[in-house]
Amino acid sequence: MIIVTGGNSGTGYETCKALYHAGAKVYLACRDLEKGRKAIEDIKRGGEFGILGVTYPATPPPASKGHIECLQLDLADFGSISAFAEEFKT
């Protein structure tokens, strides 16, 4: 079970993708749930981030044995951190 902060873009996205496809249970934590859910769709489709946005492979990646879900977390907001911890415990 792994929590990745900022998983909806950049290094966090690539980390989530690698862990998910390696079979891990990944929690993508980000401020914007809509962006997080979109990132999960892209990860499952094998999306690659580039300077022009996300591109997808011609053939979909093999099905992953991993699990990925999005949880809201703003590390600059103590209320958000508390809510994240409560949701994560359940």
Mean pLDDT of 2-21: 93
Query: Where on the phi/psi map is residue 43: left (φ > 0), alpha (ψ -120 to 50), or beta?
Result: alpha
| pTM across the whole model | 0.84
How many domains, in total, are found in the chain? Answer: 1
Dump pLDDT digits (tens) for 49-67: 878 788 888 887 787 789 9
The residues near 40 (Cβ < 8 Å, ≥ 6 apart) are 28, 68, 69, 70
Domain that includes residue 16, residue range = 2-89
As a whole number of angstroms, the distance between CA 87 and CA 7 comes to 18
Please say if the pLDDT value at position 22 is more than 80.
yes
**pLDDT for 47:** 86
| CATH for 21 | 3.40.50.720
